[in-house]
Amino acid sequence: MSARALFYSPILQSPPYISARNKLSRAELRPRGLPRLLLGVLSGDRVCSFRVSVRDVKSESYNVSEKSVKFEEALKDIALRSEDLGVDSESLVPWWEEFPKRWFIVVLCFSAFLLCNMDRVNMSIAILPMSAEFNWNPATVGLIQSSFFWGYLLTQIAGGIWADTVGGKAVLGFGVVWWSIATALTPVAAKLGLPFLLVVRVFMGIGEGVAMPAMNNILSKWVPVAERSRSLALVYSGMYLGSVTGLAFSPFLIHRFGWPSVFYSFGSLGTVWFTVWLSKAHSSPAEDPQLRPAEKKLIVSSCASKEPVKTIPWGLILSKPPVWALIVSHFCHNWGTFILLTWMPTYYNQVSSFGSKTLSETVQVCTTVIS
């Protein structure tokens, strides 16, 4: 049995047809103070109608004082309810705090290597006006350029041992501060005399020598195995970008402010980096109290900590042919790269007689191709 219903207001004069065969009789609605509704129901051959009156309900005004609801208490109540409902508190963290901490460490290491090569190659450009001012011959220029590598050679292995002992954060921070101070003191040492300049350049090499082993120590603890190739590629690209940046900006600074400005400006950047490094970086995830539990669990599960090696099997290492292949290829790469970075500006200046502006453009193109 089917049933149909129709609602209509007192404004309507008559209801529409319910079916083609039967229809409701005309009903005159004469509301007297109260609104009424007519409900008609058709069921088979029977029609039932109901008249419904709506009572007037008076609403009472309610004044809500400003002190009745406190905004802070409402926020606390929402926070408590979200915890009760199982809402993750990390979803409410701003986007800049959701950036993985391990990749923030990688970016800081990238910045350190960027500054490392900027401070390393600035002498390649500054040596031109310095040699003209202090009347240095080519032999003296070669001695100054090579003195950096004396200190750089001393701390390659020692830097890795120090990083395993005291932590990569302290060693890398020490290296950046050390070579930044040496860079800023270069103009003062050059004016005092050649021996002072050689000592400062050796000190600068000592500081930069610990950077690479300290960086490897840090990334081995912070970056999971599946992400290490990308992180190392980014960090090492900072070295080549630093070479391009240093060779590009040094001629501009020398032309506008004189050759000491190169060392002062590049050296001051290290203090800015060290401030961020000291407050944000840690040697391992276990030492970082602000690291999110989810990321810490990911790092610890994929970077299984092992006991540090106390004795290094040098005989076994040096007996492997692949090790010697890496040594030879790395030596050839560094020889060509540093010869070009160190002597290319001098070559273009003395042989091709390029000025500082043309020199910067030429060196930048050549260094980009080398990188």
**pLDDT tens-digit readout, 287-333:** 888 888 888 888 888 775 566 667 888 899 999 999 999 999 999 98
Provide the greatest CA pair distance for the chain.
Answer: 123
List domains and CATH numbers for the chain: 3-53 (no CATH), 100-305+351-370 (1.20.1250.20)
Question: 299-302 contacts: CB < 8 A, separation 24 or more?
Answer: 299/102, 299/222, 299/223, 299/224, 302/224, 302/225, 302/226
Picking from 107, 87, 164, 102, the residue whose alpha carbon sits closest to that of residue 298 is 102
Is residue 201 a contact partner of residue 148, using CB atoms and an 8 Å limit? yes
> Phi and psi of 275, rounded to 5°?
-60, -45
Map 285-301 to HEC letters. Answer: HHHCCCCCHHHHHHHHH
What is the C-alpha to C-alpha distance for residues 131 and 10, in angstroms, rounded to an integer? Answer: 106
What is the C-alpha to C-alpha distance for residues 364 and 271, in angstroms, rounded to an integer? Answer: 26
The pLDDT value given to residue 67: 45
Mean confidence (pLDDT) of the chain: 77
pTM of the model: 0.70
The pLDDT value given to residue 307: 64
Is residue 206 a contact partner of residue 284, using CB atoms and an 8 Å limit? no
What is the C-alpha to C-alpha distance for residues 41 and 8, in angstroms, rounded to an integer? Answer: 12
CB atoms under 10 Å from CB of 281, counted, come to 20
pLDDT at 48 over 90: no
The pLDDT value given to residue 25: 45
Residue with tokens 């610890």: 300
What is the C-alpha to C-alpha distance for residues 216 and 220, in angstroms, rounded to an integer? Answer: 6
Q: What residue type is assigned to position 97 of the chain? A: E
Is residue 239 a contact partner of residue 344, using CB atoms and an 8 Å limit? no
Of the pLDDT bands very low, low, confident and very high (cuts 50, 70, 90), residue 111 is very high
Compare 152 and 64 and report the one with higher pLDDT. 152
Q: Could you give the percent of the chain with pLDDT greater than 70?
A: 67
Q: Could you give the percent of the chain with pLDDT greater than 90?
A: 40
The pLDDT value given to residue 2: 44
Picking from 336, 334, 340, 330, the residue whose alpha carbon sits closest to that of residue 364 is 340
Q: What angle do CA 355, 356, 358 make, to 5 degrees?
A: 70
Q: For 216-244, how does the pLDDT look when each residue is reduced to its tens digit (9 = 90+)?
A: 999 989 999 888 899 999 999 999 899 88
